[in-house]
Amino acid sequence: MSATTNNSGEGASALSLFDSRIASRAARDAFAKLDPRRLMRNPVIFVTEIVAILTTIIGVQDLFTHAAHPAFALAIAVWLWMTVLFATFAEAMAEGRGRARAESLRRARNDMMAKRVPNPDDPALYGTVSSTDLRLGDVVLVETGDLIPLDGEIIKGIASINESAITGESAPVIREAGGDRSAVTGGTMVVSDSLLVRITAEPGHTFIDRMIALVEGASRSKTPNEIALDILLAGLTIIFLVAVVTLVGFAHYSGTTLPVPVLAALLVTLIPTTIGGLLSAIGIAGMDRLVRFNVVATSGRAVEAAGDVDTLLLDKTGTITFGNRMAAAFYPVPGIDEARLAEAAAMASLGDETPEGRSVHVLAREKFGVAPVAPAGSTPVPFSANTRLSGLDAGERSWRKGAVDSLLAAVGEARPPLAFTAAVERIARSGGTPLAVAEDGRLLGVIELKDVVKPGIRDRFAALRRMGIRTVMVTGDNRITAAAIASEAGVDDFVAEATPQDKLDYIRAAQAEGRLVAMCGDGTNDAPALAQADVGVAMQTGTQAAREAANMVDLDSDPTKLIEIVEIGKQLLITRGALTTFSIANDIAKYFAILPAIFVVAYPGLSALNVMHLSTPQSAILSAVIFNAVVIIALVPLALKGVSFKAISAASMLRRNLLIYGLGGILVPFAGIKIIDMLLTAFHIFA
């Protein structure tokens, strides 16, 4: 299933895989990362560097002592250093991409002046101070054209705010005191009106500051899976180290001398340097992919957890449905044509600017080409809570729509036709809202209004089900309405008439069964459930409490993006697993390249294992070392971009990756080592 989120930020922030400025800085940073104190965090590459140092020393000694093959030892040393450099370059590239994305955020974080209000009841009396002097709990006044100095909660007012510095979306949004859209972010601009904002973050600890640290990788800690994989790679390194050391005794027994550079080459080509060199880059790139979708994760652990999620809690309104009741069908009474009912309904809606009213026009136009114009001198009749009716008056003519019982009473229809009553009951049972229509005091029929399920959402849930993810709709609607929407959307379960405690209880029950749960929310009442969920996604438009409780924040405030977040998490895990498989599978070809080269003199029969027909033992060993280094840089784009993800079962995905990266990991080195050997032979290098 492709990620189809409509995200303006992604295109704006897209970077080429090898941007020249990022690549040039990454090349410089790669040398700085050679510091052994930094490389100790990566045991595989650390061992490679130690071996490279040892081989370099031996090569230099051989050069000055006029040993038999000093150039061979130095050549091995050079390519061992290249292996380490390519690994540090991969990590520097991933960090560089995050650093580039942080530059625009830094521009929004610049020091600015703020209007601090000592007494919120009298905002006209304010003092101008630097934003760095503001403290938690201070109240500031922001007016048209002002930048909001720090993160805060609106305590008074309503205003239009430009959040393009954060989200990349140029269209301003409405923020107001109270409710779930009261949080504002430092660095955003007030476009109209004014607000009183209570500061909720100290300088240096704002949302933008946290974003900068996260996208640059400065605060990225290793996830549990990364730690487990590090332990596995360290274990494999120790095993191969012991195996190589034992070869010294075996060679001595068989009358063969194994030079240290040859042992170094064998060790480095057998330990999993490919995944060891790319592991950190994969993790950083996973967070970078989230940032491209305008989602900020507070830790790599959250991204990884998203890949393991097997239960999704989604709000009905705005996520599964459009959130507004929309006209879905016309049901005329006997003797009335459906087109006439549609025209009358459209006339009655000419003065109705609500989403429901506009949807009546859309449905009438799409089905019958009806696009009525209000007659001259006509008067709209606005909806009234007393009459529960609205419509249009034009001289002696009138059109009305509204609640069924109110309209029947208004037209004096004590016993409506059975077809009308049946249609009303059918609409109500399906969770919709019936809206009666009359023209000139005569009942014409009923409009079905319902919360329309978003197109394609059923297919997306089906794809999630194939991946083993259970979808749960959460709504405050009654069970009848909830069941109808759940059936149409294709979710696996639903929670009707849900309270904040119901959400929390559901998450706890699912986790008690061993499930990993993700949910999204934007209100203060969602905070407990967001904190309890394994992956909690808060909307940027939501309250400060929701954003603090969640471990991800969606800058576009699009609840459906939860599905894309799960896909990105799974892509991270798949990429890590695929490259680990490829790295380990590489060893088979290296056995056929190096072992015959080492022991062919003592055991001539081993020449049968030289299936690649490599020219000389020195050429075979050097070709394997060169391939071992080059494959790291060749896989950097895949580590940064990620392995392509498809919504298929885990078993199918395993077969697919084993075929591509397992079988490919076996075959590619055979071809690669042979090509390198042919080049060395062509240039008469150790041939």
Catalytic residues: 315
**Residue 433 phi, psi (nearest 5):** -120, 120
Nearest one of 155, 163, 62, 159 to 108, comparing CA atoms: 163
389 is in an annotated binding site: yes
Q: Which amino acid is at 189?
A: M
Residue 68 sits at the vertex; the CA angle it makes with 270 and 680, to the nearest 5 degrees, is: 55
Q: How is residue 282 written in tokens?
A: 């994969």
Burial class of residue 185, CB neighbours in 10 A (0-12, 13-18, 19+): buried
Say how far apart CA 56 and CA 217 lie, in whole Å.
33
Answer for the pair 325, 356: CB distance below 8 angstroms, yes or no. Answer: yes
Answer for the pair 454, 4: CB distance below 8 angstroms, yes or no. Answer: no
- Beta pairing class for 311-315 and 470-474: parallel
Say how far apart CA 559 and CA 674 lie, in whole Å.
52
Answer for the pair 270, 590: CB distance below 8 angstroms, yes or no. Answer: yes
Say how far apart CA 20 and CA 50 lie, in whole Å.
31
522 is in an annotated binding site: yes
Say how far apart CA 268 and CA 477 lie, in whole Å.
62
Answer for the pair 401, 349: CB distance below 8 angstroms, yes or no. Answer: yes
* Cα 625 from chain centroid (whole Å): 37
Other CB atoms within a 10 A radius of the CB of residue 123 amount to 19
Say how far apart CA 381 and CA 318 lie, in whole Å.
29
Say how far apart CA 388 and CA 385 lie, in whole Å.
5
**Residue 315 phi, psi (nearest 5):** -65, 145
Say how far apart CA 567 and CA 553 lie, in whole Å.
16
Say how far apart CA 341 and CA 446 lie, in whole Å.
8
233 is in an annotated binding site: no
Say how far apart CA 531 and CA 298 lie, in whole Å.
13
SS3 content of the chain, % helix, strand, coil (to 5): 55, 15, 30
Answer for the pair 554, 539: CB distance below 8 angstroms, yes or no. Answer: yes
Provide the β-strand partners of residue 222: none
Answer for the pair 349, 343: CB distance below 8 angstroms, yes or no. Answer: no
Burial class of residue 91, CB neighbours in 10 A (0-12, 13-18, 19+): buried
Give the helix/strand (H/E) hosting 449.
Answer: strand 442-453
Burial class of residue 50, CB neighbours in 10 A (0-12, 13-18, 19+): middle
The helices-and-strands tally (H runs, E runs) of the chain is: 25, 22
Say how far apart CA 308 and CA 658 lie, in whole Å.
20
Say how far apart CA 442 and CA 444 lie, in whole Å.
6
Say how far apart CA 554 and CA 440 lie, in whole Å.
50
Helix 650-657 and helix 561-585, axial crossing angle in degrees, nearest 10: 40
Answer for the pair 173, 161: CB distance below 8 angstroms, yes or no. Answer: yes
Task: Please tell me whether residue 490 adopts helix, strand or coil conformation.
Answer: coil
Query: Cβ neighbours of residue 434 under 8 Å, at least 6 residues apart?
Result: 404, 423, 424, 427, 428, 446, 447, 448, 449
Task: Please state the residue numbers annotated as binding site for Mg(2+).
Answer: 522, 526
Residues annotated within the binding site for ATP are: 352, 356, 383-390, 401
